[in-house]
Amino acid sequence: MSTYDQVEIEDMTFDVDTQTFTYPCPCGDRFQIFIDDMYDGENIAVCPSCSLMIEVVFEKEDLTEYYEEAGSQPPEPVAVAS
């Protein structure tokens, strides 16, 4: 999978209402990724209007301040029956 660019989490905009990080896309729209997806290990933000993707550079610990800002908690791990 090829990405358009790498972007540091600090360079993205966090929306507390939608709990998404966004970043401007060259097509005029915005790359977006949910904080819960990032917490689960996803690091690719996609643009809903074109095929471009960016890699978000962050550490899982970085997300704590954004959860606090949104007044929420990271998702609880789901127990899987064996």
Structure tokens at 68: 């606090």
Structural domains in the chain, sorted by start = 5-70 (3.10.660.10)
Helix (H) or strand (E) holding 23: strand 20-24
Global pTM value: 0.88
Q: What's the pLDDT tens digit per position in 58-81?
A: 999 999 999 999 998 888 765 666
Give the C-alpha separation, 66 to 82, whole Å.
34
Q: Given this model, what pLDDT does residue 74 score?
A: 87
Q: What's the pLDDT tens digit per position in 5-48?
A: 999 999 999 999 999 999 999 999 999 999 999 999 999 999 99
